[in-house]
Copies of this chain bind each other. A is one copy, B any other.
């Protein structure tokens, strides 16, 4: 379990390489939106894999929203490939991903405090535990546009071999966590009013509306990794996502 952030293994399953090839084909336009892909039997033979393996690749393509499968019809290339960007439904860094202006400066600071009762709950900590509080301010063109309050069990930071004196190293660790894979979240999104402290940080008058994203991140092992509150200034953010039917 020492590898919260693990390197990819070199071993790549067959169905993944097939999936990657097919993705490439679609990107190249070898098959265009509306086209029917060759039948699964044919493709399987072309790739020299069994049909089952090929179907695993198809499933990945479908999850990406690249194709649509239908019994009797075939596998059809879909047209909405523009929206391939990382939507909100994927774990990432919304403050950076969805800002309408490029983030060009980041300011990080870190502190430590005993776990509050809420932290004990959502981060599954003991009362004696220490929680790292990472504050991150995001700037665009010299102005603050977003702010993050990240709560992380000290243990996690500890295992990450982070230099707590080097703020850049702390921020990089945070980014690496977010992109490390195998994470999922409980996320809540709402609007609220800017209050005292935030008003100073984001340079927004008190009482103004602001977008708040609050979430807990867990590993695939169900281990809490962090809890964070993200503040995004109005008018500067547009969150995109892909929704699917149940």
Contact = CB atoms under 8 A, between A and B. Distances in A.
B188 A218 contact: no
Oligomer: number of copies? 2
A163 interface: no
A229 B157 CA distance: 42
B241 A187 contact: yes
Contacts of A242: 89, 184-187
Contacts of A33: 222
Given A65-B184, A218-B80, A90 B189 contact: no
Contact of A189 (B34, B183, B187, B238): B238
Contacts of A86: 246
A40 interface: no
Interface string A199-211: 0000000001101
B186 A90 contact: no
A91 B244 CA distance: 5
Nearest to A183: B245
A234 interface: yes
A245 B76 CA distance: 26
Nearest to A180: B245
Contacts of A243: 88-91, 184-185, 187, 215
Contacts of A70: 220-221
A243 B243 CA distance: 11
Contacts of A68: 220-222
Contact of A239 (B34, B184, B189, B237): B189
Contacts of A221: 68, 70, 76
A132 B209 CA distance: 33
Given A68-B221, A222-B33, A239-B189, A182 B245 contact: yes
A79 interface: yes
A38 interface: no
A235 B80 contact: no
Interface string A73-113: 00010111001001011110000000000000000000000
